[in-house]
Each structure stands twice: as C-alpha cells, then as structure tokens.
Amino acid sequence: MSNVVVIGSQWGDEGKGKIVDWLSDRADVVCRFQGGHNAGHTLVIDGETYKLSLLPSGIVRKGKTSIIGNGVVVDPWALIEEIERISAQGVEIGPQNLMVAENAALILPVHRAVDKARETASGARKIGTTGRGIGPAYEDKVARRAIRVCDLMDPSTLEERVDALLAHHNALLSGLGEPTFDRAALMQELDDIAAKIAPFAAVVWKALDEAKHKNKRVLFEGAQGIMLDVDHGTYPFVTSSNTVPGQAGSGVGVGPRTLGYVLGITKAYTTRVGAGPFPSELTDEIGERLGERGREFGTVTSRKRRCGWFDAVLVRQSVKVAGMDGIAFTKLDVLDGFDELKICVAYEIDGRRYDHLPAATGLQARAKPIYETLQGWSESTYGARSWADLPATAIKYIRRVEELIETPVALLSTSPERDDTILVRDPFEG
C-alpha cells in the first residue's frame, strides 16, 4: 500500500475537500502539512455540509487520526472555534483523534493586525491576502521570533518570545498609524487559550513514525495550489508557504520516501481568488456562467473567484514541478451545455510563443492565451459514476487534457457528493 499526497494543481479551490474526504475513508491518518486557516475545504457527507479551515478532512470520519503538522501556522483561537463548531454538528473531536504538532508556529492577533494594515497601506499594489495573519506568522517563523504551540506551556520562554515579537510588530504598526498591542493583554489571551490547546499538543513526527511501522496508510492533505507556492507560483501573488508535495515531508516530520503517490486535484476549468496574473481569465458572460454554475465563492472568505478556460500550460507546469503521478479531475459537470470549449495550449508574450509560464512578473502579466477549441456536449454529466454515463465528447475532452498535461486522470468527480466519483486508479494502491 502507498501513502498519498493531495495537492492543488492550479491556484487552489480545485475541489480538494471532496477528494480528500473520499480518500480519507481509505486512510488511517490524515495530515495537514502547510498553510493556515486561509484555505477552506467544504465536505458534503450524507447531506450534511462541513466547512473546514484548519482541521484535516479526516476529522469527520470515525476511527481516523487527524494531524496538524509543524508546517502549518496555527491560529489557536480559530482552531478552538472550528473544533467547537464542527463538534456541534455531531463530530467527536478530542486528543484521541486530533494532534497538533508541538513545534507548530502560532498566529496571534498582532499578526492579523499587521496583515490588514500592510494590505491597506499597499493600496492598488496589495496582494489580496485573506487578512488572517498567515504571512506575518510565517515571517516570524523564518526570523526566529515565532511563538510555538509548546511555548504556551513554558511561561518563561513565552514571555521572552512575546517581548521580541511585540518589539518588532508594534514598531511597524505605529509607523503605519495603527494601534499597537499591550503586552499584558496579549499575555492574558495566550494564558487563556493555552489550557484549551494543550491537550492536543503532540510529538507528531514520532506518532507518524509509529504509524509507519504499523503499516498505517497516511493521507497528506495540502492547501491552496502549486501556482500559489512561494517559490514556484505567480510570485509575489502567492501564499506564504510551499504548497508542493515535497513540503509534506518537512511539514510533518517524515522522509521523502514516506510520501508515496502524488495526486494533483485539477478543476475542469480555471479559477483564481485575489490579485495576480491569470492568462485564461474570462471577464465576459462565459466567465460569469462558469462562476455561477460552479458556485465559485471562497469557503473561508466568500470572495468571488475569477473564472476562465482550462489552462493546460499551467497544469502541465504544476505536474512537472510537483512530480504528480495522476490527477483528480473535478467539476466536469460545470461544463455541461457549452457548444464549444477552449483549452489554453500555449502563451503569446511580446510576439513569442511560450510553452510554460515564465517566472518574471512582467512577462506573466503580459501572457496571452493561445487556445485550442473542442466540441462541447449538451448531455448532463452531473452525478455520473462510470465512463459509460459520460457523453463521448466529454470523454474526448478528458483525454485531450491528459495528453496536454502529460499525466493520467486517476479520479473523476462529477458533483459535490462523495460517491459521484469515477475511480480509474486507486492512489493508495500506488
């Protein structure tokens, strides 16, 4: 049996929640390995909708161990709120099925304030963050002034870290004309939340090593998408962490050979939230139609997503960078009823043809899509559970996508319901 890493192959919002839930039923352990509560997953199980941000998708499944790894930046207040909200829906959550890495860095109220203040000060040049403090928290981690989960249980260390953190951030907030933070008030907030977080703190790398020796199947759950990776994405319009599968190892504390099959979640068209380049974006009625049919609003922020045709150049690049073994192709049903469909097969930039998205910000902004046109289909694919249920033209579209991105479809999703999934190859079988 193989472990599985699930990542997004575009700019996030590819439908990872449903696929991760579908796979978590086959896993023993489900791990989040990067990001924060800026990424949301929506699960629909037996008619019940669960909206998760920090909690791994396995939490709604009985008998599964859910892990929040050290690569995640954790807002402890947001985590407790989410635990309480999901528990109110009848899901049992406790230290017996949820572990939070003791060495995970925390997001504090000051991080949220700095995030919003900098976005406001940037004006038209803003990145389009969620304002939840993820970026500033990662900055503190790299600058070695972060407060970690384990520090909450060590008062002397906590005081030193708070002093260092406020010395930096209060100066910045003051310079931006924003209110600064009171040390005593912040210490009290941390003391109050520590008692609630402490039961979940765990030595995650050790727990995963034990799971390995017991031949447990592990699902590594990524957030966002490859094109939001801080190194490989459309910088600077990216998230603050590495979203590639290699981060799964360092983000929980396992070696690269532990990771196994890499599954890239890929939407049948393209969407993006926030600012940044988007070569195949449609600002016409077709783009509006895709957004309405696909219900393209963020799980966490409710922000409307920008929509466009499928960009094979972008996904092929993600496939190469991430080393994907296969993709889960989602939201095919949104394309039902189009007379014709277009796929971006290359870019034109300053009169030159590109088969990849270059790293230079200026070149990315000037990239124009070169399209290939395919015949659409009038039949419904919604809820299809076998290839026989699909129109021939829909299958032709899927096969052309496979050719262009140079990787096979392992799973095909045709609705938000978990059982409306066509299995081509089980990732856990390697």
d(CA 6, CA 232): 17
Residue 321: name the closest of 228, 201, 189 by CA. Answer: 228
Q: How far, CA to CA in Å, does 283 sit from each of 18, 114, 128, 271, 364?
A: 28, 32, 19, 12, 18
- Cα angle, residue 258 at apex, residues 51 and 75 outer, rounded to 5°: 35
Question: Per-residue DSSP letters for 252-264?
Answer: TT--GGG--EEEE
Secondary structure E strands in 48-112: 48-52, 65-68, 98-101
Decide: 68 and 223 in contact? Cβ < 8 Å: no
d(CA 425, CA 326): 9
d(CA 299, CA 44): 13
Amino acid at 63: G
Q: Which is catalytic among the residues 21, 28, 37, 41?
A: 41
d(CA 224, CA 204): 22
- Cα angle, residue 302 at apex, residues 299 and 304 outer, rounded to 5°: 110
Residue 76: name the closest of 157, 185, 156, 149 by CA. Answer: 149
Beta carbons within 8 Å of 143's beta carbon, 6+ residues apart: 168
For residue 271, what is the enclosing H or E element? strand 270-272
Active-site annotation holds for 13: yes
Beta carbons within 8 Å of 38's beta carbon, 6+ residues apart: 53, 129, 130, 132, 134, 223, 239, 300
Q: So which residues are the catalytic ones?
A: 13, 41
